[in-house]
Amino acid sequence: MDTTQRTPEPVLGAMYFGTRADEALSTTLLDAFVDLGGRWIDTANCYSFWEDPSGVGGQSERLLGRWFAARPGVRDRVRLATKVRHQPLVPHEWPSSSEGLSADAIARGFAASLERLGLDSVDLLWAHAEDRDVPLAETVDAFGALVAAGQVGRLGASNHAAWRVEQARAIARERGVEPWSAVQLRYSYVWPRPGVTLPEGGHVHAERDQLDHARTQGLDLWAYSPLLTGAYVRDDRPLAEGYDHPGTYRRLAVLAEVADELGATRNQVVLAWLLAQGISPILGVSSLAQLTEAMAARDVDLPDELRARLDAAV
């Protein structure tokens, strides 16, 4: 199975499938995503422990497993990414009981993911966040072993510092194992003040050095929360306090102008802007209308002049 991602494309985020999004809505969104030409689905073994009475995750993977089982042949059309690192080992005790990235935790966590998914492999496995209590070489070897065993196609690092990713890649080269070739970070058209701690626990925002690192090293970059939970188009979803600075308002003004000129929504312009930079946005949608709007961003023609105007607003 070809797991390379040669061009950026929208990714369907399945975080709340099986919890906030019930079975019917989740399967409707999955079916529509595939019908619209979508290929990549992103989940994690811990999704969504904070939403479920059990206090542990796995609901999203189980739902995806039922969806795959009910649709023979769809697996040949869909690429699946999941993550290990944040699954609570003790219900309702996170992050104190988070599984971490030891070799044993990775092997056990991933084996449980495959069981829930009803699959024998996934196309991309992410390290969901750093674990500096474990030697990085141990983590690199454990991830590489899964690729060598044919259970994982590619590897990636989510919410990691750029230097940490590159250090892991150097270790992988030295040991002759598969390196991380993708990064996943929070990123959108507007960004918070430097050094601000985001209210969402564990979110790491892409800074200039991380963007430059991904670009120069040829790493795929996936951006989560690209539409900032609706803040670009909904007055009832204000931006967090960390985004309250003059640059935000200048960029929002230019975004509105460009959207009007293109006859597109502000959400679509943001997604088209990300795609134009080679970034794959992860779509966290909760309705068919939202999904349809987001996927239509692929058809938005963003001329160089308009992209330059968007970039120049700081």
Q: What is the CATH number of the domain that holds 155?
A: 3.20.20.100
Q: Indicate the length of the chain as a whole number.
A: 314
Amino acid letter for position 235: D
Assess contact for 183 and 156: CB atoms under 8 A. yes
pLDDT of residue 6: 63
Could you tell me if residue 281 is inside a domain?
Answer: yes
- How many domains in the chain? 1
**Maximum alpha-carbon separation in the chain:** 54
pLDDT of residue 2: 45
Could you tell me if residue 310 is inside a domain?
Answer: no
Could you tell me if residue 249 is inside a domain?
Answer: no
Residue 210 lies in domain: 11-243+274-301
Rounded Cα gap, residues 268 and 156, in angstroms: 26
pLDDT digits (tens), the chain, 314 positions? 445 556 899 999 999 999 999 999 999 999 999 999 999 999 999 999 999 999 999 999 999 999 999 999 999 999 999 999 999 999 999 999 999 999 999 999 999 999 999 999 999 999 999 999 999 999 999 999 999 999 999 999 999 999 999 999 999 999 999 999 999 999 999 999 988 888 887 899 999 999 999 999 999 999 999 999 999 999 999 999 999 999 999 999 999 999 999 999 999 999 999 999 999 999 999 999 999 999 999 999 999 999 999 999 99
Q: CB under 8 Å to 88, separation ≥6 — which residues?
A: 46, 49, 55, 56, 57, 94, 97, 98, 99
Could you tell me if residue 268 is inside a domain?
Answer: no
Rounded Cα gap, residues 81 and 78, in angstroms: 10
Could you tell me if residue 311 is inside a domain?
Answer: no
DSSP 21: B
Could you tell me if residue 5 is inside a domain?
Answer: no
Name the strand (E) or helix (H) holding 290. Answer: helix 288-295
Could you tell me if residue 178 is inside a domain?
Answer: yes
Could you tell me if residue 251 is inside a domain?
Answer: no
pLDDT of residue 208: 92
pTM of the model: 0.96
pLDDT of residue 177: 98
